[in-house]
Amino acid sequence: MQWIKKAWAGLSKTAKWLVLGVPTATAAITAAVPVIEQTSSLWKRAEARVEIIAPESVHVGDEFPVDVRVDSVGSAKSIPAGTVEIRTDQKYIKFTPSPTLGVPAIDGSTLVPLTTKVKALKVSDEPVSLVAYYRSGDVEATSAIRKIMIIPALVMNYPHFNKSDTNRVDLSGEWNIDFGGQSGTMNIRQATNSKISGTFRLPGYKWSAGSVEGYKDGSTFRVVFVLPKSKPEQTLRVAGDFRPNPQNAYIEIVGCAYHLKKSGKRHASVGGEGVDCTKQVFFDQWEVVQVAHFNASAKFVPE
């Protein structure tokens, strides 16, 4: 053992540190590696922030855009693919086919592609809340509440596509009309059951004004211009087809107008009214006094 003591005594301080210090430091570093890795893992934790983007108000019956933005805000910038669910009161807002959307992997931020239709179903007395809930594995985030007012539909002053009813044409509005060379106007409203009501004005005609009653069926237009009471009773019956032209933003009705006078005559056949104004048409218990071409046109609002 004496030789070991003599050898140790002869070593320099550097040599002694290499013998004792290096193994000790190596062991300490080796023991610290898992702790460092764990700390690094915690430091690189993925986190997300979600924002829901929507208008402040929408009209009932309208479809409207809802966008969701997801940002990676943790030190781990990349987040695997996940989902986002938009939560709301479904009595007022409908998502078709689903309020849940797929979100691709995020590296920084992404605007979630909208693959669903959003429609306002009912007028709200209070703002309706929307919240976006995002999840990707263990990463979860909830947006701030976005409030939307659902207000009554716009009252159209022109014929238009009724968005709340499978895009059918609504003939409501003011029309310029021509009745056998007499020009005037017609202001009508179409009810949800396709009944037509309104008024007409023909300043240069024998009957300068009156009411309009009738219906719309498919692309056909059938109304009566109600005339002042007389004996025998008289009326103007209008039959035609409407033709929307969205590209040029107008719509027209082309047909025939029949001046009828009440009678006791009955007819076995009627004929095709509104198709060819030169062909004879019969109406039970009415006599055809005069036939004229009828044309009407109006501005058309396609959206």
Tokens 């995020």 sit on residue = 106
By C-alpha distance, which of 172, 282, 290 is closest to 235? 290
CA distance 146 to 159: 34
Given strand 109-111, what is the order of strands in its sheet? 48-53, 67-72, 109-111
By C-alpha distance, which of 177, 153, 157 is closest to 242? 177
* Pair (263, 235) in one structural domain: yes
By C-alpha distance, which of 59, 249, 57, 58 is closest to 154? 59
For residue 198, what is the DSSP state? Answer: E
* Pair (163, 291) in one structural domain: yes
* Pair (94, 223) in one structural domain: no
* Pair (197, 129) in one structural domain: no
SS3 38: helix
- What is the count of structural domains for the chain? 2
Q: Give the pLDDT confidence of 248-293 residue by residue, as tens digits.
A: 789 999 999 999 999 888 876 677 787 789 988 888 888 999 999 9
Identify the pLDDT of residue 36.
43
pLDDT of 303 strictly over 70: no
> How confident is residue 33, by pLDDT bands cut at 50, 70 and 90?
very low
Its domain, for residue 106, covers: 45-149
Which pair of structure tokens corresponds to residue 153?
Answer: 């539909």
Q: Model-level pTM greater than 0.85? A: no
* Pair (182, 293) in one structural domain: yes
CA distance 251 to 203: 23
Q: What percent of the chain has pLDDT over 90?
A: 40
Q: Is residue 263 part of a domain?
A: yes
Last residue of a domain, one of 87, 122, 149: 149
The shares of helix, strand and coil residues in the chain, as percent rounded to the nearest 5, are 15, 50, 35
SS3 34: helix
* Pair (274, 186) in one structural domain: yes
CA distance 294 to 20: 113
Q: Is residue 69 part of a domain?
A: yes
* Pair (142, 57) in one structural domain: yes
Q: Give the pLDDT confidence of 87-126 residue by residue, as tens digits.
A: 999 999 999 999 999 999 988 888 887 778 899 998 888 9
